[in-house]
Amino acid sequence: MASHIILPKEEEAALGVAVEEDHDSPAAPGYQHQQGPPVAKALPFSATCVRISRDSYPNLRALRNASAMSLPDDDAAYAKLEEGDYGYLLDDVPHFTDYLSDLPVSADTPPLPTHPCLALVVPLPDSTPAVKKLQQYFVNADDTVPEKVVVQKDSPRGVHFRRAGPRQRVYFESEDVKACIVTCGGLCPGLNTVIRELVCGLSHMYNVNDIFGIQNGYKGFYSSNYLPMTPKSVNDIHKRGGTVLGTSRGGHDTKKIVDNIQDRGINQVYIIGGDGTQKGAYEIYKEIRRRGLKVAVAGVPKTIDNDIAVIDKSFGFDSAVEEAQRAIDAAHVEASSAENGIGLVKLMGRYSGFIAMYATLASRDVDCCLIPESPFYLEGEGGLFEYIEKRLKENNHMVIVVAEGAGQDLIAKSIAAADQIDASGNKLLLDDYCKNKKMEMTIKYIDPTYMIRAIPSNASDNVYCTLLAHSAIHGAMAGYSFTVGMVNGRHAYIPFHRVTSTRNKVKITDRMWARLLSSTNQPSFLSQKDIDAAREADKLASKSPVPVNTKEHGENAKKPANGEGSSDAVVQEPFGNGPTSPAALAAGAVSNPALTPAAVSMSFYDVNAGEQPSREDEAPEEVVECRCGERSTDGRGEA
């Protein structure tokens, strides 16, 4: 069954209607007989090739954002969507079989004997008890991970990703694998752990001996010698911060990189880095595919800012939040030891304030948290200065946590005001609030920016890095190219364009931000302009359509009059716009000053009848769905 989505040209996408096309029939245009492994038995739902508009793509209209990448027409097959019954939509990752034929595949019987992933020595029949037990280790080909785990009763099943984990079929012989590992961008706790587990996993699970490290980022592909790596050479690197391979920003030359990959015979590339690095990985994959090379590209997303889209969190985030506690504790001690003391802590977060938010929630000593996503104003009723004055009069000290990207509009105003003069011709001073109030303040400023990213990973991140590395290995050996990550507690293979087309940010209308307001008891600092922007964001979110197959099983199946497949689409409204919507609650917080910040924040906990949880909400149970519609609550720790 065909499963490619054909990205339409702009003039063809005007209607944005999903149209089914039968690409499996020998009479269909462009049909090609594919050789290789036997075709799996047809699934009990209709998986069809559909044509959709970019604006009809779910979840923040990722394809519309991805269109800014100016993909050429011959890149249409890079996006693969497979549609099923009851609104099921698989956002699949590319595979060797999409562009290569006559691929050698390992035996259908599972590998034996010392480890389920080792090369098979003696094939055994499927009826053998040992084989049946080992088959439980492998991921079912139909297992997928839902992007949303909390939906309404009549909601479509929604978008799913291919589940990560070991496959019964692999497309590499151990002795033929030549793998390389590269780290790019800024430092992050856990980099060395991922490197170590990639090397040890390839060696111990698949008997791979040719593993090389690329030094100093992307430019190391063509400007330095490759560093041979063995389990012995990486044995204790997880105890150190940074990366043993070195890193750098920039230096990405797709042609030079792929030339060196081809010349050196590399067939597995493991790329560890943030969203910019994953964009580079996507470009490398596209060039590899254009050349028809049998090379798997596996991306492991990395950023302590936790702003990678789709995934629950990025590795290193927990370690960074834990280390940030030390700075906050120090600021609290300093502030409480001085009269009208203010402990000011700046944390990383140029565009997303996740570190500041989670560090504040974990500390319980913070009185105010400022992040880029939540605008605030300084002077006037309800402003930051008034809140600082109030808190100092109450407690004689306070702690403020600021993400580095917070208040950028205020910085621009400060720069403009620096050149202004008063009526007497003197420069306008920007620090006169305390003087006018006749208050003396002592500010203790702490910037742990580089401290929190240069440390070794903690226990939680070590486990997470191990699972990410192993999932990446299993996917590459199975012939996929992807970014790996945890989605709702399960590891999945995610298309490159999904993690690079948008940036994850804190939602100020989300319950997690409301929990922070309740913890710090700070005002929301929302102006009417901010409320209008929040309302507009809610409207956009509620209009995010999910094209789904509306056909049902059995006799109740809906059949169009022309006898062809249905082109109906179900539009899901994940956020409400009623009086209990986040925007309306925020508006009430401003218009009714009698409400305390804690009461306002608690009102955000009211779940709208049409609301779906955001990524920060708790998943009640780890659920893996089979595409046939069965649900399993697998308790195994493996991805």
Annotated binding site: 186, 249-250, 274-277, 303-305, 348-350, 404, 450-453
In this structure, what token pair is assigned to residue 614?
């955001």
The DSSP letter of residue 321 is H
Residue positions forming the annotated binding site for ATP: 186, 249-250, 274-277
Q: With contact defined as beta carbons under 8 Å apart, do 525 and 329 qualify?
A: no
Phi, psi angle pair for 2, to nearest 5°: -75, 145
Q: Which long-range contacts (CB under 8 A, 24 or more apart) does 567-570 make?
A: 567/17, 567/18, 567/19, 567/20, 569/17, 569/18, 569/56, 569/545, 570/87, 570/156, 570/546
What would the two tokens of residue 151 be?
């939906």
The span from the CA of 545 to the CA of 211, in Å, is 44
Catalytic residue, chosen from 305, 318, 365, 530, is: 305
Residues 6+ away with beta carbon under 8 Å from 458 = 189, 318, 319, 322
Annotated binding-site members for Mg(2+): 275
SS3 (DSSP) at 159: strand
CA distances from 452 to 319, 333, 366, 465, 616 (A): 8, 19, 18, 17, 22
Return the beta strands (E) in 229-381 as ranges.
Answer: 268-273, 296-301, 341-347, 368-370
- Contact in structure between 109 and 125 (CB atoms under 8 Å): yes
Q: Sort 481 into a burial class: Cβ within 10 Å, 0-12 / 13-18 / 19+.
A: buried
Which two three-digit tokens encode residue 424?
Answer: 């007497």
C-alpha span between 136 and 126 (Å, rounded): 12
CA 544/CA 159 separation, integer angstroms: 13
Alpha-carbon distance 31 to 25, whole Å?
7
Strands 482-487 vs 296-301: parallel, antiparallel or unpaired:
parallel
68 closest CA partner among 502, 566, 638, 512: 502
User: Would you call 534 helix, strand, or coil by DSSP?
Assistant: helix
* 214: Cβ contacts below 8 Å, ≥ 6 apart: 180, 181, 182, 220, 221, 224, 226, 227, 245
Which residues fall in the annotated binding site for substrate?
Answer: 303-305, 348-350, 404, 450-453
Helix (H/G/I), strand (E/B), else coil: 82: strand
H-run or E-run covering 196? helix 191-206
Q: Has 305 been annotated as catalytic? A: yes
H helices of 375-458, where?
Answer: 384-395, 408-417, 433-437, 449-453
Catalytic positions: 305
